[in-house]
Amino acid sequence: MALDIGGVCLRLTPWRAYAALGIRVGAPVPPVLRTLIDHYSSGRIDSNAFCDGLQDFTGHRYTDAQLKAGWNSMLGSENPDMTRILRRFFEAHWHIVFFSDTQPWHIEGLRQILSYSDQIPEAIYSSDVGAEKPSPAMYEAFERQFGKPDLYLDDRLNNIEGGLARGWNAVQYIDDGNPDAFLKHLAL
């Protein structure tokens, strides 16, 4: 199974990270910051360059550790409904691989938050591939390493459509508080 992380396994709170960088809640993300984030998430810059970019953006008001902690404050809590769903997959011995648009600071943080992360050691991350979903490069990287997944779960419709275009069994996950109905929908 190919499993997205943000919005599926982990609830995201991007407003916290933006507030930590001095952006008013509800204000648009400045283009310079959006570009910096896109470059980091797609692996075009490393963590040091991202930190340097954040330092420049914030006017060097914070330590590197504060910037990392602020950025990782975007990582909310583990989604208990998905944890319950995944228990069924673990019990059935499914091979699950994280398939996510993310970057090293978040990878480190999410692996500390997700109680089952040690049960999913393999991953395809956008920062390693050099592209983000729904770029074909992401799906190709997954297929090269693991073949076509029996199931792909993601919360974003455009990513699901990217999987469907490649013949994947792609299902949109909507966090509606009803994991039993979702399992029934998947026939598990």
Q: What percent of the chain has pLDDT above 90?
A: 93
Does one domain contain both 123 and 38?
Answer: no
Q: Are 74 and 17 in contact (CB under 8 A)?
A: yes
Instruction: Give me the mean pLDDT over the 92-96 stretch.
Output: 97
Residue-range definition of the domain harbouring residue 153: 2-12+77-185
Does one domain contain both 68 and 130?
Answer: no
Does one domain contain both 86 and 168?
Answer: yes
Does one domain contain both 71 and 27?
Answer: yes
CB-neighbour burial class of residue 101 (10 A; exposed 0-12, middle 13-18, buried 19+): buried
98: helix, strand or coil = strand
Domain containing 164 — which CATH number?
A: 3.40.50.1000
CA distance 143 to 108: 24
Under 8 Å CB-to-CB from 83, ≥6 apart: which residues?
A: 9, 115, 116
Does one domain contain both 94 and 166?
Answer: yes
- pLDDT tens, position by position, 27-68: 999 999 999 999 999 999 999 999 999 999 999 999 999 999
Q: What pLDDT shows up at residue 76?
A: 95
| Domain total of the chain | 2
